[in-house]
Amino acid sequence: MRAIFKNVIKPGVIDKSLFNFTAKALINGLDSGYDVPVYTDSDKEMVANLKANLYQFSAAKTLTQIKEMSSLLTDGERTRSFAEFKKEVAKVYSNYNINYLQAEYNQAIGSARMAANWVSIQADKDTLPYLQYKTVGDSHVRESHKALDNIIRPVDDPFWDTYYPPNDWNCRCDVIQIATGKETPLPKNLPAISKVFSGNNSKNGVVFNDQHPYFNNLSEAEQKNVQEFIKSNVK
């Protein structure tokens, strides 16, 4: 806060300590969720892709957070005192580094688990060619996810390019792989999925896709800044 107030950290800067704080939490989530007894080459490739995505996400988040904090230096008419600035920035910090980060950490765990499943699914699809969508089945399941429960489609069916879980924040849905099954006719009114969760993230090797606001709202210069930061700071 003090560094931003003193203009030592400016908009466009990716503070390394804040980046490390975020990246460490999300990589821990990835490691927790991607729990397989033996890593195949496909597992290693998947984990490498997921980690690269989380590093880029952490850099984009840090840049976005600092930009938002810096905008609070004034109230639109005058420069805030440090006490005023600190009070306003504390709200932003709490959102990004407690509330948002908890949801993002959960997403890293869930996405990693489903990515590990996807690798296994691809390896076994000749003998287990179908997937069945499964919700947890309790009162907390979203109505839109209930509509997908028990749908059976082939592993390579385009249905899974949209509806392979997770399909929202803290989504607990899963798929089971089966040898035989009757394909479910797809209704015309399948639920819409948020852009942030659109696509099969496991198939694409990401936890957060390019529609997430941290990515989607970056200018070309900021995107370049993120890539240069990653090259210089992630080994």
- Per-residue model confidence (pLDDT) at position 151: 97
- 175: exposed, middle or buried (Cβ count in 10 Å: 0-12, 13-18, 19+): buried
pLDDT tens, N- to C-terminus, the chain (235 residues): 999 999 999 999 999 999 999 999 999 999 999 999 999 999 999 999 999 999 999 999 999 999 999 999 999 889 999 999 999 999 999 999 999 999 999 999 999 999 999 999 999 999 999 999 999 999 999 999 999 999 999 999 999 999 999 999 999 999 999 999 899 999 888 999 999 998 899 999 999 999 999 999 999 999 999 999 999 999 8
- Per-residue model confidence (pLDDT) at position 225: 95
Is residue 61 within 8 Å of residue 126, measured between CB atoms? no
- Per-residue model confidence (pLDDT) at position 103: 96
- Per-residue model confidence (pLDDT) at position 203: 96
Distances (CA, A) of 78 to 4, 84, 214: 16, 11, 28
- Per-residue model confidence (pLDDT) at position 198: 85
Of 232, 218, 208, the closest CA to residue 67 belongs to 218
- Per-residue model confidence (pLDDT) at position 182: 92
What is the C-alpha to C-alpha distance for residues 9 and 19, in angstroms, rounded to an integer? Answer: 13
Distances (CA, A) of 230 to 25, 103, 108, 169: 17, 23, 19, 26
Establish how many alpha carbons lie within 13 A of residue 180's alpha carbon, considering only the half-sphere containing its beta carbon.
0
What is the C-alpha to C-alpha distance for residues 217 and 106, in angstroms, rounded to an integer? Answer: 23
What is the C-alpha to C-alpha distance for residues 213 and 61, in angstroms, rounded to an integer? Answer: 9
First-residue to last-residue Cα distance in the chain? 28
- Per-residue model confidence (pLDDT) at position 32: 97
Per the structure block, which two tokens stand in for 220? Answer: 């070309």
- Per-residue model confidence (pLDDT) at position 181: 87
Global confidence as pTM: 0.94
